[in-house]
Every structure is written in structure tokens, then in C-alpha cells.
């Protein structure tokens, strides 16, 4: 019975670790600001699931990636959420992207926007 309790405790701790590993993280970025996301190592990848911008502003937010072979490349632009425009035609598609490492990822919120919201997860392969 004592061994069964030990095995159950280890299994429960291992299951809890797997349950919470790889959760998505969210970040709010103020208009015109730039933030760096965690570095994506060689054996890792990052999934960006949601990138939206509140307010139209003067420019659209973007996600930029720098790899060891290429300079900064814009890989994703923010979907604009405009509360003033309620027509169904104004809805934009919210795209997601997978970034393979090694890479440095930065997020820039559009100038004049209220704020931007991004959801991402970094995993190892």
C-alpha cells in the first residue's frame, strides 16, 4: 500500500506538470510600443495564435522575426478591431503563425492605436 501511494503521488505530479506545460501566454502592448518575445532556440518553435489591434491608428501592428540567415522580416500583421465600425464586412481574419528557431521575435503595435493584444506559446521539438 505504501508503494502504491508513492507511485500515485509521482504520477499525479507528473500529470500536473504536463497539464500546465505549454500554456499560451498573452501580452498587451501600448500603441506605438515594441516588445520582444522570448528567444526561440534551435530546437524550439513558437506559435502565435492571436494578434489584434484596438483602434485604427495611423499604422498597423506587426510581428518581426530575425534569424541567423535573414534580417528583420515582417511575418504577421495585426487584425484591427474597430469598435466604431459594427458592420459585418468590417471583421478581419485573425491569422496564426508558427515560427521555427533559431529566431528573435519582436512585436510592434501600430502608431496611434489604443493597444495591441498577442497570444503565443513557445514549445520545444
Q: Which CATH number fits domain 23-124: 3.40.50.300, 2.60.120.340, 3.30.2130.30, 3.30.70.20?
A: 2.60.120.340
Domain boundaries, the chain: 23-124
pLDDT in tens, 104-122: 999 999 998 889 999 999 9
DSSP 91-116: ------EEEESSEEEEEEPPTT-SEE
What's the confidence (pLDDT) of residue 88?
66
Give Cβ neighbours of residue 37 (< 8 Å, ≥ 6 apart): 27, 46, 105, 106, 107, 118, 120, 122
pTM as predicted: 0.75
Amino acid at each position: 500500500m505504501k508503494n502504491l501511494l508513492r507511485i500515485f503521488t509521482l504520477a499525479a505530479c507528473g500529470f500536473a506538470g504536463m497539464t500546465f506545460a505549454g500554456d499560451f501566454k498573452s501580452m498587451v502592448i501600448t500603441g506605438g510600443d515594441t516588445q520582444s518575445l522570448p528567444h526561440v532556440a534551435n530546437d524550439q518553435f513558437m506559435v502565435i495564435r492571436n494578434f489584434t489591434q484596438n483602434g485604427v491608428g495611423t499604422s498597423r501592428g506587426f510581428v518581426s522575426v530575425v534569424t541567423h540567415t535573414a534580417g528583420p522580416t515582417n511575418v504577421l500583421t495585426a487584425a484591427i478591431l474597430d469598435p466604431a465600425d459594427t458592420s459585418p464586412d468590417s471583421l478581419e481574419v485573425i491569422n496564426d503563425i508558427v515560427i521555427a528557431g533559431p529566431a528573435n521575435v519582436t512585436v510592434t503595435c501600430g502608431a496611434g492605436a489604443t493597444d495591441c493584444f498577442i497570444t503565443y506559446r513557445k514549445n520545444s521539438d
